[in-house]
Structure 1
Amino acid sequence: MFVTYILSQIRAYMRYRETVRELSHLSDRELSDLGIMRWDIHSVARTSAAAA
């Protein structure tokens, strides 16, 4: 059970990092079209990783 928890946390962190990486590559205009400000990227990524 502990190993399962650790693996799920690792997967969530990987989803978080991937989301941050993808959003960081977008221009300010593209982020604006999505309704995201550049300083919101980490918050959006954290929410996305927790929801998956």
Structure 2
Amino acid sequence: MKAFLNRIVTAIRKRAAYEHTVAALSRLPLDVKLDLDIYQGDVRAIAHRAVYGA
């Protein structure tokens, strides 16, 4: 039971980190995003890779 709860807690923490990363990337000014080769349509995919891995 403890392992199950640990998996749930880990999943919740990763989801929170994902949402935080999406928000942070979305707030970047357009010129900064372009300098970093980040396109608005790729923000969720980039955040997903950053939190959950490739």
Query: What's the TM-score once normalised by structure 2's chain length?
Result: 0.86
Calculate the aligned-residue CA RMSD, in Å. Answer: 0.8
What is aligned with 2:31?
29
Structure 1 unaligned segments of length 5 or more: list them.
none
Paired residues, number = 51
Structure 2 unaligned segments of length 5 or more: list them.
none
Whole-angstrom distance in 2 between the partners of 1:39 and 1:28: 12
Highest Rg: 1 or 2?
2
Query: What's the TM-score once normalised by structure 1's chain length?
Result: 0.89
Pick aligned residue for 1:48 from 22, 31, 50: 50
Q: Percent of counterpart pairs with the same letter?
A: 29
Consecutive aligned runs of 4 or more in structure 1 exceeding 6 Å deviation: none
1:7 Cα deviation from its structure 2 partner: 0.6
Whole-angstrom distance in 2 between the partners of 1:9 and 1:34: 29
1:12 Cα deviation from its structure 2 partner: 0.6
